[in-house]
Chain A
Amino acid sequence: MTAIDDLFVQLKSQGKKAFMPFITAGDPNMTFTRKVLKKLDDLGCSMAEIGIPYSDPIADGPVIQASYTRALAGKIKLKDIFYHVAQERPNLKMPLVSMVSYAIIHRHGPERYVDDALAAGFSGAIVPDLLVEESDSLANICRQKNFNLIQLVTPTTPRERALKIAEQSSGFLYFVSVTGITGERTQLPPDLVDRVSWLRERTPLPICIGFGVSKPEHVRLLAPVSDGLIVGSAIVRLLEQAAQSESAAIESMATLTQALMGELPTSTAPR
């Protein structure tokens, strides 16, 4: 059992849903990232997804892409990210998961990546460019080391394949809401609820929905059919203001986070 597994057991017993913000590590620097993590934890977020900046992120829209570019412009390195997360970890209650390109994991060495991520206090990884067919070896390493490898299902995934992906995933299953890249959407696909419900009846794994989730009405619609929601670009966009004022950036991010969390069916209001 990882901290993520424990989290979903606990949420389920309380009839609650997970709320997971995504932030970019090192945008614009790790000191700020640590402040944001602390704030999200204080607000009662269930878990945080930390994006490891990558030079060529093809699954990401303009907001996260620009955020990665800013972080890399600050010469952020993987070892700095691990160092600062490890420093902040004792101050946080929520589990942490990294969103990381396979290019980075490969370069670091899969086993070493998992060891270093665990040492820093991460409980799992989402690898958006590692398909289930290519993931056996990393999945084995993760299993041996009690580290979650969270796989993704998308609207273009055929149903049989979705079941296979669910079997290979651990921690939770990341359900991508739209056919496209990350970024805020005004409208989500009409058949999304049906697709998630279909899959949820067929896997014991918690299902969390991400990509495009950015508005209170999205939370109202999707929380009942899922086990949690992931919000990325809407939060990252507000944090862009850090260049002008860090406190204003954190303040507006907190306001949005509270507004979205306030729509969750059972209260997970600030602890």
Chain B
Amino acid sequence: MSLAPSPETVVQPSDTPATKQVPDANGRFGDFGGRYVPETLTRALDELVVEYQKALQDPDFHAELNELLHRFVGRPSPLYHAKRLSKQLGGAQIWLKREDLNHTGAHKINNTLGQALLTLRMKKTRVIAETGAGQHGVASATACAHFGLPCVVYMGAEDVRRQKPNVFSMRLMGAEVRPVESGSRTLRDAVNEAMRDWMSSVEHTHYIIGSVIGPHPFPMMVRDFQSVIGRECREQCLSTLGRLPDAIVACVGGGSNAAGMFYPFVDDHSVRLIGVEAGGRSSQAGDHASPLSYGSPGVLHGSYSYVMQDEDGQTSDVHSMSAGLDYPGVGPEHSYWKDAKRVEYTSCRDDEALNAFDFLAKNEGILTALETCHAVAKATETAKTMTPDQHLVICLSGRGDKDAAELARLRGQEW
């Protein structure tokens, strides 16, 4: 296998269309992905590849996972026609894929249940996870409580502060939350600490990575577990609308809800796919968390993908008011989709996302996670450029209860 190309030779978006037949055996989505980790983790990653392939061929695995997704999570999640919102905007019909109605309030549970089942199959006895917004932490704690596995969640100290309700929930379900004080005290540092834990505990511990990031096979595996979103959505569109939607919008931090939503539509060329990154305060370096919009290909957390970095390859500090998007990297498949021009990536500022929160709350009676609000904001903009006979789906990846206190703080209101 060859190295990732050097910066001078890449970055030319290829004319090769995106395919669903990725990654290859080495975990490459085109040039992106791969495995950049210490040798210590290789054996566990190889075992995970083997166990995952075995599980995929085992009808019992699918039956157990599907049963859990149905009766424990409440799937399928509805595809809801936001009629009032659509009318207000006067453009396309807006549909919400309601991942916020899942047990634990976000899409993250789709992945943690799958990986928890794999943990048991590998006979590992402990789980670790990282979390930003806390949704993946809660989903990991939930899956672990369900299966009786001890669970340690690493969370940046800044995120522990701004996502308190989720910290409390995790502890209620028996998980240990370890605040991470190093670096920017956010998601990136939580991933670092979880990786360090795993370096020492790898023989009996499984690391449930919460997004489509990290070394192979995580980006592929997490995408597969999250693809239930896109598969359901595609069927729901066909049965409800009698056709595919014209556009789909999802927010992108690491990119798991977007990857799960987009993947089943990759070959449906009539469907516009739009990923929305965190635009933060401005487009200046350090003010946002938009590696696909403003970053360059590099190595972070075990894979080769777009990343915010300086001229030496040091990871840059990023900003987003939403803890779940406050991350300098992005999943390698998104980099692949970007360069293959299959998905349009754009970004949305903090203030635009806050307006979208209010808009959806007041027009539809739905409190949306701040992460998801980025998608809502861009979707409302896009819908206005479309006609009422067209259909646009938003991946409503999470609910906003967790953000109530932080919203009050941002607005100087009492909580």
Contacts and interface: CB of A to CB of B under 8 A. Distances in A.
Interface of A: 54-61, 65, 69, 72, 77-78, 101-111, 128-138, 151-158, 161, 165, 176, 178-181
Contacts of B44: 156
A103 B298 contact: yes
Given A56-B192, A58-B196, A179-B202, A108 B40 contact: no
Given A58-B195, A102-B299, A103-B300, A108 B42 contact: no
Contact of A179 (B2, B188, B203, B315): B203
Contacts of A69: 182-183
A240 to B, nearest CB: 16
Given A156-B202, A179-B202, A54 B38 contact: no
B199 A180 contact: yes
B38 A129 contact: yes
Among all A-B residue pairs, the 5 with the closest Cβ atoms: A107-B313, A180-B200, A137-B3, A58-B195, A103-B299
B7 A56 contact: no
Given A134-B1, A179-B199, A56 B312 contact: no
Interface in B44-93: 44
A141 B141 CA distance: 46
A103 B297 CA distance: 10
Interface centre among B37, B39, B40, B199 (most CB of A within 10 A): B39
A72 B182 CA distance: 13
A102 B202 CA distance: 22
A110 B195 CA distance: 25
Nearest to B317: A55
Interface centre among A59, A77, A107, A129 (most CB of B within 10 A): A107
Nearest to B329: A56
A92 B279 CA distance: 49
A180 B4 CA distance: 27
Interface centre among B202, B304, B312 (most CB of A within 10 A): B312
A65 B36 contact: no
B137 to A, nearest CB: 19
Contact of B313 (A108, A131, A161, A181): A108
A120 to B, nearest CB: 15
B42 A131 contact: yes
Interface in B255-269: none
A55 B192 CA distance: 10
A75 B327 CA distance: 22
Contacts of A54: 313-314
B262 to A, nearest CB: 27
Interface residues of B, number: 41
Nearest to A156: B43
A65 B312 contact: no
A176 B39 contact: yes
B311 A107 contact: yes
Interface string B1-27: 111101110000000000000000010
A55 B183 contact: yes
B200 A181 contact: yes
Given A56-B192, A102-B299, A110-B6, A129 B40 contact: no
B400 interface: no
Contacts of B38: 58-59, 128-129, 152, 154
A153 B39 CA distance: 7
A149 B283 CA distance: 39
Nearest to A53: B314
A241 B261 CA distance: 52
A237 B10 CA distance: 40
11 contacts: A58-B38, A58-B301, A103-B299, A103-B315, A109-B8, A131-B36, A133-B1, A133-B35, A134-B35, A138-B3, A179-B40
A156 B37 contact: no
A175 B4 CA distance: 26
Contacts of A133: 1, 26, 35
Nearest to B309: A107
B217 interface: no
Interface string B298-324: 111110100001011111000000000
A161 B43 CA distance: 10
A195 to B, nearest CB: 14
Contact of B39 (A60, A103, A165): A165
A4 B199 CA distance: 29
A109 B7 contact: yes
B291 interface: no
A143 B149 CA distance: 48
A158 B3 contact: no
Contact of B36 (A130, A137, A161, A180): A130
Given A134-B35, A137-B3, A156-B41, 20 more contacts: A59-B40, A65-B182, A69-B182, A77-B312, A103-B36, A103-B299, A103-B315, A106-B3, A106-B304, A107-B7, A110-B6, A111-B6, A131-B35, A131-B42, A134-B1, A152-B39, A154-B39, A156-B43, A156-B203, A179-B199
A106 B6 contact: yes
Contacts of B7: 106-107, 109
Contacts of A107: 7, 298, 309, 311-313
Contact of A108 (B202, B304, B312): B312
A55 B299 CA distance: 12
A79 to B, nearest CB: 9
A161 B46 CA distance: 12
B202 to A, nearest CB: 7
B4 to A, nearest CB: 6
A58 B192 contact: yes
Nearest to B36: A129
B313 A106 contact: yes
A56 B196 contact: no
A63 to B, nearest CB: 12
Contact of B3 (A101, A136, A178): A136
B134 interface: no
B34 interface: yes
A154 B353 CA distance: 47
Contacts of A106: 3-4, 6-7, 298-299, 304, 313
Contact of B2 (A101, A129, A137, A180): A137
A107 B3 CA distance: 12
